[in-house]
Amino acid sequence: MVIAGGGPTGLMLAGELALAGVDVAIVERRASQDHRGARAGGLHSRTIEVLDQRGVADRFLTEGQVAQVQSFGGSRLDISDFPTRHPYGLGLWQNHIERILAGWVRELAVPIYRGREVTGFAQDDTGVEVELPDGQSLRAEYLVGCDGGSSLVRKESGIEFPGWDPTTSALIAEAEMVEEPELGIHRDARGIHSLGRLEYEVRDGEVIYKNGGPVRIMVTEGHPGPAGEPTLRDLSEALIAVYGTDYGVHSLTWISRFTDMTRQAASYRDRRVLLAGDAAHVHSPAGGQGLNTGVQDAVNLGWKLAQVVNRTSPKGLLDTYHAERHPVAARVLRNTMAQTVLNRPADSRLDALRDTVSELMRMDEPRRRFAAMLSGLDIHYDLGEGHPLLGRRMPDLDLVTADGPLRVFTLLHDARPALLNLGEPGGLDITSWAGRIQLIDAKYAGAWELPVLGVVSAPTAVLIRPDGHVAWTGDGTDLGLRDALTTWFGPPGAV
Ligand SMILES: Cc1cc2nc3c(=O)[nH]c(=O)nc-3n(C[C@H](O)[C@H](O)[C@H](O)COP(=O)(O)OP(=O)(O)OC[C@H]3O[C@@H](n4cnc5c(N)ncnc54)[C@H](O)[C@@H]3O)c2cc1C
């Protein structure tokens, strides 16, 4: 398996594949992981959960700042009452997220060909010839393009990328400033801007910047800027246009331009080539959802790809990746487009719209629905009619087993599926899938509570996929279990 791109999506996917025993390598254009600035500002609740499912959430939590980060169009949404072990987001810059992910991938012994890039590929019936510079190539069964918004893999595969052109752009940079800047968010006729120290703490929900040190700058431009690398001069001019001064900006360590271009790959797969993360969807950073969506794409795809490569499941399993993840990103595109409008320059009519939306967001039901969407906690894959848990994330319950207490997420650390029998011990038989699925007899006495939906009836058994989504629930019988096992984990006795 070859993954083009070692950003957050590629790294997560590599980890998932390595856990499943797949021979995988990453080809990454950047010479080192920290060779760019901090784009994304952190992780949402569901992403923290998926990292917890792999037993690595603490690595991120100890470095970041836990806070109520959810917001929609400028309205803060508190999720502290949500039924999850992580009812918050995590402030942590992307370079740190990538460093921690890269450390995990290193422990899993995934080779990363750094300073190399995928320049093309050719696929046939048995695999993909992945081209590298200097006439070198790698042969793989599958190639996954995790190579970002300008994805070469997407372009070369001919997969269409329909959507909307940018209406606005902003410069984002890290630099020093001679004068003390006006820290915080600033709105004017151009739109929204922000200046903050790279180092900060969250105290009582408030961001407290450290004194001195590099400044993280985000300044909206008057009109969508040209393609190509922006310069210190562009930054200085944009700052002067907004703040009347550039605060003596100097020692630029990183600069980039982002836009609200909104596009999504028409298909996430073309035979042996797949797309994930920004390669499959781009949108404005409003609500901070891009990295989170990419990491969760990887967690949806990894185990499926592993089962196909390991010959446990037929190739058709890969079609469920597009079927499940395309609608998730389509919803992100929609909500970021709506937020872009709410972030537009001050104008009486837009102010009225912002007030109206913020009034709505202060009501409990809209708050819960929007916050569950933005945090990723309400994601529901359409697996047909049935118990409300079907297709939704399995809550991290505290179970009791014959061997003592057990957290559900602990069962998922190795990215292996689990069948939880909460009824009569020994009442479920999965001998034909032995070795593929963990079967655990357990008891759980508490309420089953899901985000937005509230309390749901307790199932007698739950089949949990490696991505933490529920593939089947029992109601006292094993009706439908064999079908679910075959659909998700291959035909009986196939290994
Ligand atoms: C200002 C800003 C703020 C943001 N804030 C948030 C936020 O708070 N939360 C959030 O979730 N998201 C946020 N995002 C979005 C987030 O940064 C992206 O969604 C995320 O980086 C996507 O990860 P990725 O791995 O899919 O792609 P990328 O991070 O773009 O990684 C792609 C990798 O592929 C490599 N590559 C490219 N081409 C090739 C090639 N041909 N061969 C080999 N390697 C190649 C690149 O070097 C890169 O390392 C923000 C973005 C911006 C601009």
Helix ranges (DSSP H) in 176-266: 232-243
pLDDT at 316: 96
- Specify whether the CB–CB gap between 272 and 141 falls below 8 A: yes
Q: How far is the CA of 430 from the centre of ligand 1 (A)?
A: 41
CA 321 – CA 349 distance, rounded (Å): 41
Query: What DSSP designation does 74 have?
Result: T
- Ligand 1 atom with the smallest distance to the CA of 297 is 26
Query: How high does pLDDT run on average in the chain?
Result: 94
Atom of ligand 1 nearest to the CA of 290: 19
Model pLDDT for residues 283-296, shown as the tens digit of each residue: 999 999 999 999 99
Spatial contact of 270 and 157, defined as CB atoms under 8 Å apart: yes
Q: Give the pLDDT band of residue 191 (cuts 50, 70, 90).
A: confident
Of residues 34 and 149, the one with the higher pLDDT is 149
Nearest residue (CA) to ligand 1, atom 26: 277
Q: Going by CA atoms, what residue is nearest to atom 49 of ligand 1?
A: 7
Q: Which atom of ligand 1 is nearest to the CA of 294?
A: 26
Distance from residue 146's CA to the centre of ligand 1 (Å): 9
Best of 147, 154, 297 for a ligand 1 pocket test (most atoms within 8 Å of beta carbon): 147
DSSP string, 207-239: EEEPSSS-EEEEEE-SSPPPSS---HHHHHHHH
pLDDT interval class at 67 (50, 70, 90): very high
Q: Residue 358 and residue 96: Cα distance in Å, rounded?
A: 32
Cα of 40 vs centre of ligand 1, distance in Å, is: 8
From ligand 1's centre to the CA of 150, what distance in Å?
Answer: 10
Ligand 1, pocket residues at CB < 6 Å: 4-10, 27-30, 39-42, 94, 117-118, 146-148, 152, 172, 258, 277-278, 285, 288-292, 294
Please check the confidence at residue 495 and state whether its pLDDT lies above 60.
no
d(CA 252, CA 28): 24
Report the separation in Å between the CA atom of 291 and the middle of ligand 1, taken as the mean of its atom positions: 7
Share of residues in the chain with pLDDT > 90 (%): 85
Q: How many angstroms separate the CA atoms of 82 and 256, rounded?
A: 35
**Strand ranges inside 111-190, DSSP E:** 112-114, 120-123, 128-131, 137-140, 143-145, 163-164, 169-177, 184-188
pLDDT tens column, 305-337:
999 999 999 999 999 999 999 999 999 999 999
- Dist. CA 9 → ligand 1 center (Å): 8
Structure tokens belonging to residue 86: 């992580």
**Which atom number of ligand 1 is nearest to the Cα of residue 153?**
41
pLDDT tens for each residue of 10-49: 999 999 999 999 999 999 999 987 766 678 889 999 999 9
Give me the mean pLDDT over the 117-144 stretch. Answer: 96
Cα 466 to ligand 1 centre (Å): 25
Question: Phi/psi at 37 (nearest 5 deg)?
Answer: -80, -170
